[in-house]
Amino acid sequence: MESEDPEMEREDAEDEREDAEDEREDEEDERRRLRLVEAITALRGGRKKPLGERSEAAVRVSEFAVTAEGERQKVQLSDLIEGAQQSPAVPTQTRKQLQNLRRSQKTVEQPLSRQESERVQRDLAFQKAAVHVSRWKSVVTQNRRSEQLVFPLNQEPSGPKPLEKVVTGWRVQTPLEQEVFNLLSANKQPIHDPVLSPAEEASLRAMSLEEAQIRRAELQKARALQSYYEAKARRERKIKSKKYHRVQNKARRKEFLKQFDQMVKTDPNGALEELNKMELARMKERMSLKHQNSGKWARSKAIMQQLELNKDLTQKVRSSLSNLEEQEDRASDPELLPDFVNDAEPGQVSSNPWMRGELSAEPAEAQRSEQEVAAAAAQKEQHEEGEALLRDFESRRKLRQKEEEEQEAAGQDVEDSDEEEGPADQEEEGLSEFRSLFRGVAEGLKEAAATASSAGCSSAPLEGGLIRIRTVEDAELLPPEDVELLPCSESPPSAPQEEAPPTGQKARGSKKRKRNIELKEVLTKDAKTVTVPLAPTLTDTADGSDEELDQRGLIMEAFAGDDVIADFLRDKRKQEDAAKPKVVDLTLPGWGEWGGQGLKPSSRKRRRFRVKVAPAEPRKDQHLPGVIISEQRNGSLSAHQVSALPFPFENHAQFESAVRTPLGRTWNTERTVKKLTMPKVLTQLGTIIQPMTEEELARKKASAAGAGKEDPHKTKDQKRRARKGRKRHQKQLKQGSGRTEGIRCECKVDLVD
Amino acid sequence: MKVKVLSRNPDDYVRETKLDIQRVPRNYDPTLHPFEVAREYTRALNATKLERVFAKPFLASLDGHRDGVNCLAKHTRSLSTLLSGSCDGEVKVWNLSKRECVRTLQAHEGFVRGMVVRFCGTSFFTIGDDKTIKQWKMETPGYGEEEEPLHTILGKTVFTGLDHHQKEGVFATCGQQVDIWDEQRSSPIRSFTWGVDSFSSVSFNPVETDLLGSCASDRSIVLYDMRESAPLKKVIMTMRSNTLCWNPMEAYYFTCANEDYNLYTYDMRYLEKPLVVHMDHVSAVLDVDYSPTGQEFVSASFDKTIRIFPKDAGHSREVYHTKRMQHVICIKWSADSKYILSGSDEMNIRLWKANAAEKLGVLAPREREAANYSQKLKEKFQNHPQIRRIARHRHLPKSIYHQTKELRVMKDARRRKEMNVRKHSKPGAVPVVSEKEKHVVTVVK
């Protein structure tokens, strides 16, 4: 009954409110009944007290083992919340919740086992840790991708820092300090070393009343003066009259001169400075091309004045140069002397032709043309003739132009200048006439010489070593002051190559010789040299050339029988022959006809069984006489070649381009080399590298954010760079395909060099 | 008359002092340099050969211990200081620049199992077989002073491993369980157990400073968070791991040295399979330490060699050995990433260069540029057979050489057999298991 009672209660929980009073009555009844039962049992005399359980203090007390006041009774929810129902202190919401709780039928689930709960706990903790540690991902990937890693990470530049930086970098540390400094700055008190506050400083700077008045008056006066001068300047600037300005300038100059004279007496140092200044101004003006009378206007009128000025300005240079140069200048003055005078000093001409002016330049040109003529003469006579004709025309045209110009100039001179210049012009005219005449004569001579020399050259291969003597004879034929013999070394390099094959053939019969000889020395064999008489250029080189000749003679003697070119040609021919496809004769004597000694298979049969091979493709070096291109695979190279595509590369082109890009400073600019050879990891000597810290994470994040802001610019820039790189790459590919891919060129001897 | 004159600025071609190098104007037009690849190849070949010529990694041997060196500790503040503990309980402090012992103290009875310097560098901790943790001052005691520890903690069980927190006064030990200790208390503030194991090593993550990892004798690696009450995760491998080292630059990577001759680099978030299996040793790997740059690590093995691995390469780039060096017990990479220190069974500590052919000391700028250039050349042509052959060539002790061969034969045989089995069984019945997956038994949550 007792045990049923509470169950009953739970069952009719809905109408508990109504039953609450009844219940209380029931309980009281029960208590009474219990007391009665006890009393009765006590009356029976048997002292049967229930033994109280003895228990140890448990380590853990289960929340489910709470007992009610009676021994075997369970605590009911109703027992606990009884008071809550009545007391007005409990809010109604709580009451409602309690009611709902009482009404609900659900039993609480059994808690998880310890193992399981621990596992859940671990799993959660791991997930948390994994997420937490993943925030380093950006840093890690960034570091893996970066071209260079610099350790230690939080590096500060070594060496002393500027004071400003230290001061600005200094921060208030603790809140107390911060408060103190806030107070100080709010009251305008000095924080750093200066002990005075701004107000104190201002009071110190203040002055007395009289002083202030005087100062004010001064300032007023100065301002008035300034305005007056400004007005004056404005007025003067508005004046357009040239005359006024000229007069004024003149006056100013005079004044200055006077001052300068005085200065010379009183203050020589200052005068010197002034002089320097003047000099500088003069130099500037001289450099400014202002008085060069090069414009149209300058030519037409008012030249004289400017010319004079120019002369004045330029005179200083002449005086500053050495005497010798002055003499030369005078000698080379185009107005006074004909061109052959210039030729007397060829060294000067070659060294700085622009110092000579017009006339000295022309002989140089003439020389060049002579050289050209000579070279051409070595190749074709016809061509030479044509060129001579052309040159003739050219010279005539030039002469005519010159004359016209001079006439014009003379006319102008007559118009503009005084009578003094008249005779000079006439003189000039005479000179120019003489010059033109002379030039005509000289050129005629040159042509003759050129033809003679070309004749000599054409006969050169036949006559071998006698050339030099012949050329001397040639030289004798030529006018001595105009044309001079050149040593063999000066001969154009292309000439021997032209002559090479016949001599090579001639010398083929000779014995075996040494190789690996300096090409240039060998190429000086007298059999192949073609000396061409050229116009005189350097007279002072005569001694040197003699020595050189001696040297050459020695070398020639040493390698007398050596003919590398012939060897090379033989080599080439041999290779050509070897590469030619051969006709295979498959005729078997005795098949289908009589065989035996002295019997030959019939021609028909032979024709039939001869396998004709298709002609080989033209050789790549067929038009390159100095080169042998071998298209055979060189087995010794394969040991050095990569057989399979290495890992990070995706295709062959990529790998090849990577290999082809040179790194060294022989092929790249300094900056590129620095960039290309930048080491992947940079550490500092003798510093401890600390592990990465949280600061690094923050810094990387900040930098990434900064980069994100400037992203459009950066990407554009990168794109441009990438495009450039691609272009360059393509270019390289094109260039490279010629030299490395496919055939391997073997340049044994390069004659063109 | 106009005169045009070529003018050049002397600054462009005149050197400032006669000590400068002459300026050499160059034309970089590629058409003028037809043989650049061939020339650079020759240079690369020469650089590689020279590297092999100059590869002399062994610098010094520090002798003085009277028993095998069992543990090493780097000083956290001074590059030239090294601490070593031996199997007879002796701890020695070395000055590396002078290569001499500056202090000797009898720290424990029996082995010194572990040693670590506090992050501030003023004191260090040792643990020993006598179940004690001792804290010592870094300074040498003055004349007449006793060599005494600052603190001594008597534990219940033997400690086998020790590591200190990167920033706080907290350290971790391992033995029967992993304990986290506060420096100020004599009992652990936290203990982690997960099954009944004995742990061989424990190590703090230097970046994510509250994480720890430990190697247990049940072939597992267990991860912990110091702030949590329970461990995080456990991965069980086919064989036992001896030590574990975290990458100091990449927070979630660690490498463990295993008994099965390999090293494994794991991402702590994905323990199902290692990222890289580093093979090359021919005996159990006993210790591993990362370079402070986090790019490479060095391992010490029972096979009497030291090997240097790039962090993501399956094979070592370098092997160091000497005739006299026996089983290498402990190894450290110096804090400036230039040297390697190894302690071995035969009582010696050896100092090695981390880059065998590197020139030590200050380099002149041109020297440095030349070194950089040759380094890049070697990298550029590293795939060319001749260069690779020369660069890879190492002399190995005969036993190791033969053992390597033997292992290769065994591996090949195993693979062949597996292939044959697969060939003769139902398709899919014998799945292909990658090398990485082979070594992980299970991951326990």
Query: Which of A136, A640, A641 faces B252 most closely, judged by CB atoms?
Result: A136
In 3D space, the residue among B303, B228, B323 whose CA is nearest the CA of residue B262 turns out to be B303
Please determine, for residue B345, whether its predicted confidence score (pLDDT) is greater than 80: yes
The DSSP element (H or E) to which B161 belongs, if any, is strand B161-164
Q: Does A411 touch chain B (CB under 8 A)?
A: no
CATH number of the domain where residue B165 is located: 2.130.10.10
Does the N-terminal peptide bond of residue A152 adopt cis geometry, omega within 30 degrees of 0? yes
Asked whether the beta carbons of B186 and B227 are under 8 A apart, the reply is no
Residues of B in contact with A685 (CB under 8 A): 336, 338, 361-362
Range of the domain at B97: 66-140+147-285
Q: Which two tokens stand for residue A519?
A: 């090409």
Residues of B in contact with A750 (CB under 8 A): none
In a domain, B124, yes or no: yes
Dist. CA B431–CA B418, nearest whole Å: 10
Which residue did the predictor score with more confidence, B85 or A284? B85
Which residue did the predictor score with more confidence, B8 or B185? B185
Query: Which of A665, A669, A692 faces B249 most closely, judged by CB atoms?
Result: A692
Is A136 in Cβ contact with B337 (below 8 Å)?
Answer: no
Mean pLDDT of A30-42: 87
For chain B, how long is the longest CA-to-CA vector?
A: 107
Is B295 in Cβ contact with A689 (below 8 Å)?
Answer: no
Q: Is A616 exposed, middle or buried (0-12, 13-18, 19+ CB in 10 A)?
A: exposed
In a domain, B183, yes or no: yes
Q: Which two tokens stand for residue B224?
A: 């912990």
Number of domains in chain B: 1
Dist. CA B198–CA A175, nearest whole Å: 49
Asked whether the beta carbons of B286 and B294 are under 8 A apart, the reply is no
Mean pLDDT of B335-361: 95
- Whole-number pLDDT of residue A718: 46
Mean pLDDT of A123-145: 93
Query: Which of B28, B233, B251 faces A133 most closely, judged by CB atoms?
Result: B251
- Whole-number pLDDT of residue A596: 84
In a domain, B345, yes or no: no
Please determine, for residue A432, whether its predicted confidence score (pLDDT) is greater than 60: no
CB atoms within 10 A of CB A3: 9
* Overall residue count recorded for chain B in this entry: 445
Taking the complete model, does pTM exceed 0.80, yes or no?
no
In a domain, B107, yes or no: yes
Query: Which of A122, A642, A673 faces B232 most closely, judged by CB atoms?
Result: A122
Mean pLDDT of A623-643: 87
Distance of CA A466 to the CA centre of its chain: 57
Q: Which two tokens stand for residue A20?
A: 């609450």
Q: Which two tokens stand for residue B160?
A: 């086998």
Q: Does A637 touch chain B (CB under 8 A)?
A: no
Please determine, for residue A532, whether its predicted confidence score (pLDDT) is greater than 70: no
Decide: helix, strand or coil at residue A337: coil
Dist. CA B388–CA A13, nearest whole Å: 89
CB-based burial, B151-167: b 16+ in 10 Å, e otherwise: eebebeebbbbbbbbbe
Asked whether the beta carbons of B220 and B181 are under 8 A apart, the reply is no
Q: Residue A291's closest chain B neighbor by CA?
A: B1
In a domain, B5, yes or no: no
Is A689 in Cβ contact with B335 (below 8 Å)?
Answer: yes
Express each pLDDT in A728-752 by its tens digit: 444 444 444 433 333 333 333 333 3
Dist. CA A196–CA A189, nearest whole Å: 8
Query: Which of B77, B295, B376 faces A663 most closely, judged by CB atoms?
Result: B376
- Whole-number pLDDT of residue B400: 96
Residue ranges of A 147-186 with Cβ closer than 8 A to chain B = 149, 151
In a domain, B13, yes or no: no
Please determine, for residue A483, whether its predicted confidence score (pLDDT) is greater than 80: no
Residues of B in contact with A136 (CB under 8 A): 207-208, 250-252
Please determine, for residue B154, whether its predicted confidence score (pLDDT) is greater than 60: yes
Dist. CA B356–CA B378, nearest whole Å: 15
Residue to mutate among A128, A150, A294, A667, with most B CBs inside 10 A, is A667
In a domain, B51, yes or no: no
Is A639 in Cβ contact with B335 (below 8 Å)?
Answer: no
Query: Which of B76, B336, B372 faces A687 most closely, judged by CB atoms?
Result: B336
Residues of B in contact with A639 (CB under 8 A): 385-386
Express each pLDDT in A200-233 by its tens digit: 777 777 777 888 899 999 999 999 999 999 998 8
Express each pLDDT in A640-680 by its tens digit: 899 999 988 999 999 999 999 999 998 998 899 999 999 99
CB neighbour list of residue A524: distance below 8 Å, 6 or more residues apart: A488, A489, A552, A555, A556
Report CA Rg, chain B: 27
In a domain, B441, yes or no: no
Task: Tell me the H-state helices in A45-192.
Answer: 77-86, 92-103, 114-133, 137-145, 163-169, 175-186
Residue ranges of A 84-123 with Cβ closer than 8 A to chain B = 118-119, 121-123
Is A658 in Cβ contact with B380 (below 8 Å)?
Answer: yes
| A620 secondary structure, DSSP code | T
Express each pLDDT in A485-496 by its tens digit: 444 344 444 444
Dist. CA A484–CA A472, nearest whole Å: 9
Torsion angle (degrees, nearest 10) of CA A374, A375, A380, A383: -80
Q: Does A299 touch chain B (CB under 8 A)?
A: no
CB neighbour list of residue B377: distance below 8 Å, 6 or more residues apart: A663, A664, B40, B43, B44, B47
Our CA-based measurement puts residue B294 at a distance from the nearest CA of chain A, in whole angstroms, of: 9
Please determine, for residue B177, whether its predicted confidence score (pLDDT) is greater than 90: yes
Is B369 in Cβ contact with A122 (below 8 Å)?
Answer: no
Dist. CA B280–CA B403, nearest whole Å: 11
Residue to mutate among B250, B311, B369, with most A CBs inside 10 A, is B250
Is B384 in Cβ contact with A642 (below 8 Å)?
Answer: yes
Give the sign of the dihedral formed by CA A388, CA A394, CA A400, CA A405. negative
In 3D space, the residue among A662, A433, A9 whose CA is nearest the CA of residue B40 turns out to be A662
